[in-house]
Amino acid sequence: MKTVFVVGAGPAGMFAARKIALAGYDAVLFNRDVKPGGLAEYGIYPLKDKMKFGLRKQFAQVLDLPNVYYFGHVQIGNGYDMTIAELDAMRPSAVIYTCGAQGAHELGLPGERSKGVYAAKDFVYHYNQLPPYSSQDFSTGRRIVIIGIGNVAIDIARWLLQDSPSRATEEVTIIARRGPVEIKFDKKEIEYVIRHIDPAALAAELGRVSERCARVNEDVSPEAIFPEHFPMLMEEDFTPIAPRLSFRFLTSPTAVIAGEDGRISHLEVGDNDLLHRPDGSTKPVPNGQKTLLDVDTLIFAIGDQQDEQLGLPMGPNGYATQVDPEHPEEPVFQLWNPEQSCPLEGRFVAGWARRASTGLVGIARHDGELGAQQVIEYVAKQPEGDALSPEEILARLQEKGLHPVTKADLALLGAAEQQEAEKRRLNYFKYSDNDSMFEAIERERSAVSYFGD
Ligand SMILES: Cc1cc2nc3c(=O)[nH]c(=O)nc-3n(C[C@H](O)[C@H](O)[C@H](O)COP(=O)(O)OP(=O)(O)OC[C@H]3O[C@@H](n4cnc5c(N)ncnc54)[C@H](O)[C@@H]3O)c2cc1C
C-alpha cells in the first residue's frame, strides 16, 4: 500500500485527499484544528449558512471514504506538535502541504502591537469561533479602521456594522493605498453593507482624490465609480443607515498611537500620489501629507502569507517552488530545495499554501485537485510503500503526548453539536473551545458505549 500525507484539511487538502483516495492510495490528513474545513469553516462569513452547510456535507463525504484517515488537533512545524522530520520518519510515499497561509503580513508600523490592533485572519477566526482565537480578546470600539479594500475587508465591516455582539460601532472606515479604480471587492459582497454608506460622503471622498487620480488618467467621479462599484447608491430612494461605512483612498497608515491604557487611540495616515509603472499599472507613493485619525480599533486586511515556522524551504513568494521560465504561468506544485537547486523529492504544495490569499473555495479546491494529480503521477512511479499504518500513526502521536482527533471522534462531536443545536433551537451549533469539544466527544463516546451501539 502506498500512503500520501496531506497536511491541512481546508478545501485544498480535503479535495486533494479525495482525489488521492479515489486513485487507490491511502490519504492521511493532519490538521491543526480539531475540525476540518479551514477557512471554509472558520473564515467564510458566519451567516453564509447555505455555503457552509454545503461544504461541510462535502467534507463529511470525503471523510466517509474508507481510505481517508484524519488526525485533527495536530499542527506540523518547528516548535509545533510535530516537525516535518518527524512526519517524514513515518515514511509516506509523498506529502502534499495544503495548510493555507497562516502568517499575516506585518504592517511594519510603529506602535502596531498596541491593543486593539488585529490581523484580519485572526479577527475572522475569532468571530467564526476557532479556538484559541475564539476566547482571546478581540474587543472593538466605536471608530474602527480596516486597512485593505478586498472581500475580507468587506466581511469584517459587515460583522462590525451588523452582527458583532459588541454593538459599539459608530463608524467603520476602509483605507486603501490606491484609488477607487483599484477597488478589489466584488459587487455581491458590497451589497451586504452598502446601506451603511452615505453617498454624499463617498462623493466628497472621491472629490478629495480626483485630482491625484486624474494625473494617471483615472476618472474617479461618482458618475464613473458609483455604477461600477456602488450601483445601489444611485437609487433615488436610497437612504443610508447607521452605523456608517466610509472610505479613504490614496492613504497608507504610517503610525499607530496608543493611549495610556495601551490601546490604539489614533492612527497617523499619509496621503499617496499615484505614479505610472512602465507596465502601465500604478504605484502609490507617499506625498508627505499626514493626518491623524481618531481610531480605537485597527484591523489590517492586506492578505496573508505562508507560515515560515512550518519548516519548508521558503522562496520569494512563499514555500519554494521552481517556476519554468518558459512557462511562467504554469502552476508548479512540487516543492523546491533552493540550497541544492533540486526538487524536493515527493513533496508538493497546493491551495493557499501555494498562493496565499488567492481566490475562493472553488479555486482552492481546484488547486488541491491539480496538486493531487501530480502527487498521484509521482506515487504511481514509486515502489510499494512502507509507511506506518494509520493505527501506528495514531499510537505514535499519542506517544508524543498529543491528543489527535480521529474520524470516529469527529462523528461523535458532530452528534453532540447536533443535539446541542436542537436543544437551543438553532440551525447549527459549534463549540468554540477545544476542551468543550473533547468533553463532548468523551460524553458521546460513553453514551454510545453505555447503550451498546
Ligand atoms: C475572511 C474570509 C472570507 C472568505 N469568504 C469566502 C466566501 O464567502 N466564499 C468563498 O468561496 N471563499 C471564501 N474565502 C476563501 C476560502 O476560504 C479559501 O479559498 C479557502 O479556504 C482556501 O483553502 P485552503 O485549503 O488552501 O486553506 P485553508 O482554508 O486556510 O485551510 C488550511 C488548513 O490547514 C490547517 N493547517 C494550518 N497550518 C497547519 C499546520 N502547520 N499543520 C497542520 N495543519 C495546518 C488549518 O487547520 C486548516 O484546516 C474566504 C476567505 C477568508 C479569509
Question: 162-173, pLDDT tens digit by residue?
Answer: 999 999 999 999
Ligand 1: does its nearest atom lie under 6 Å from the Cβ of 4?
A: no
Question: Structurally, how many domains does the chain consist of?
Answer: 2
pLDDT of residue 132: 97
Ligand 1: does its nearest atom lie under 6 Å from the Cβ of 367?
A: no
**Do residues 266 and 313 both lie within one domain?**
no
Domain stops at, among 270, 302, 334: 302
Ligand 1: does its nearest atom lie under 6 Å from the Cβ of 444?
A: no
Phi, psi torsion values for 37, nearest 5 degrees: 120, -30
Residue 356 CA to ligand 1 center (angstroms) comes to 10
User: What digits encode the pLDDT tens for the residues 429-447?
Assistant: 999 999 999 999 999 999 8
Residue 233 CA to ligand 1 center (angstroms) comes to 32
Residue 100 CA to ligand 1 center (angstroms) comes to 6
Residue 107 CA to ligand 1 center (angstroms) comes to 22
* Alpha helix (H) residue ranges in 222-289: 222-229
Quick check: 408 pLDDT over 70? yes
In a domain, 434, yes or no: no
Mutational pocket test of ligand 1: of 99, 128, 188, 437, the residue with most ligand atoms within 8 Å of the beta carbon: 99
Quick check: 452 pLDDT over 80? no
Mean pLDDT of 225-229: 96
**Do residues 198 and 342 both lie within one domain?**
no
H or E segment to which residue 413 belongs: helix 407-423
**Do residues 289 and 240 both lie within one domain?**
yes
**Do residues 84 and 176 both lie within one domain?**
no
Mean pLDDT of 319-345: 93
**Do residues 151 and 266 both lie within one domain?**
yes
User: Which band of pLDDT confidence, cut at 50, 70 and 90, is reported for residue 453?
Assistant: low
Mean pLDDT of 314-333: 92
Quick check: 407 pLDDT over 60? yes
In a domain, 229, yes or no: yes
Ligand 1: does its nearest atom lie under 6 Å from the Cβ of 335?
A: no
Ligand 1: does its nearest atom lie under 6 Å from the Cβ of 332?
A: no
User: What digits encode the pLDDT tens for the residues 283-318?
Assistant: 999 999 999 999 999 999 999 999 999 999 999 989
**Do residues 141 and 41 both lie within one domain?**
no
Cα–Cα distance measured from residue 189 to residue 322, given in angstroms and rounded to the nearest whole number: 35
Ligand 1: does its nearest atom lie under 6 Å from the Cβ of 54?
A: no
**Do residues 140 and 49 both lie within one domain?**
no
pLDDT of residue 95: 98
Cα–Cα distance measured from residue 385 to residue 375, given in angstroms and rounded to the nearest whole number: 14
**Do residues 189 and 293 both lie within one domain?**
yes
pLDDT of residue 104: 74
Contact in structure between 305 and 356 (CB atoms under 8 Å): yes
Ligand 1: does its nearest atom lie under 6 Å from the Cβ of 31?
A: yes
Residue 262 CA to ligand 1 center (angstroms) comes to 32
Residue 11 CA to ligand 1 center (angstroms) comes to 7
Quick check: 411 pLDDT over 70? yes
In a domain, 432, yes or no: no
Residue nearest atom 14 in ligand 1 by C-alpha distance:
360
**Do residues 70 and 138 both lie within one domain?**
no
Domain stops at, among 265, 286, 302: 302
Q: Coil, strand or helix: which one is 238?
A: coil
* Alpha helix (H) residue ranges in 128-273: 151-158, 187-190, 199-214, 222-229
Show contacts of 360-365: CB within 8 Å, 24+ apart. 361/11, 361/40, 361/44, 361/51, 361/55, 364/10, 364/11, 364/12, 365/11, 365/12, 365/15
Residue 43 CA to ligand 1 center (angstroms) comes to 7
Exposed, middle or buried: residue 240 (CB in 10 Å: 0-12, 13-18, 19+)? Answer: middle
Cα–Cα distance measured from residue 343 to residue 24, given in angstroms and rounded to the nearest whole number: 25
In a domain, 162, yes or no: yes
The amino acid present at 59, given as its one-letter code, is: F
Mean pLDDT of 236-260: 97
pLDDT of residue 107: 81
Worst-scoring range by mean pLDDT, 44-58, 105-119, 133-147, 358-372? 105-119
Q: Which residues are paired to 172 by β-bridges?
A: 144, 245
pLDDT of residue 281: 87
**Do residues 116 and 230 both lie within one domain?**
yes
In a domain, 426, yes or no: no
User: What digits encode the pLDDT tens for the residues 179-207?
Assistant: 999 999 999 999 999 999 999 999 999 99
**Do residues 213 and 332 both lie within one domain?**
no
In a domain, 429, yes or no: no
Residue 162 CA to ligand 1 center (angstroms) comes to 24
Residue nearest atom 3 in ligand 1 by C-alpha distance:
44
pLDDT of residue 346: 98
In a domain, 201, yes or no: yes
% of the chain beyond a pLDDT of 90: 93
What's the distance, Cα to Cα, between the start and end of the chain in Å? 31
Exposed, middle or buried: residue 157 (CB in 10 Å: 0-12, 13-18, 19+)? Answer: buried
Residue 358 CA to ligand 1 center (angstroms) comes to 10
Nearest Cα neighbor of 115 from 90, 135, 139 is: 139
User: What CATH number has the domain bearing residue 185?
Assistant: 3.50.50.60
pLDDT of residue 250: 98
Cα–Cα distance measured from residue 415 to residue 444, given in angstroms and rounded to the nearest whole number: 8
Mean pLDDT of 368-385: 97
**Do residues 260 and 342 both lie within one domain?**
no
> Residue 212 belongs to what domain range?
108-302
User: What CATH number has the domain bearing residue 59?
Assistant: 3.40.50.720
Mean pLDDT of 134-140: 98
Average pLDDT, rounded, for the chain: 96
Cβ-based neighbour number of residue 210 at 10 Å? 20
Quick check: 367 pLDDT over 60? yes
Nearest Cα neighbor of 205 from 228, 244, 239, 179 is: 179
Catalogue the E-assigned strands of 203-330.
Answer: 244-248, 251-258, 264-276, 282-294, 297-300, 304-305, 314-315, 318-319
Cα–Cα distance measured from residue 385 to residue 92, given in angstroms and rounded to the nearest whole number: 7
Ligand 1: does its nearest atom lie under 6 Å from the Cβ of 12?
A: yes
In a domain, 224, yes or no: yes
For residue 356 the three cell numbers come to 496565499
Domain stops at, among 405, 421, 448: 405
The pTM assigned to this predicted structure is: 0.96
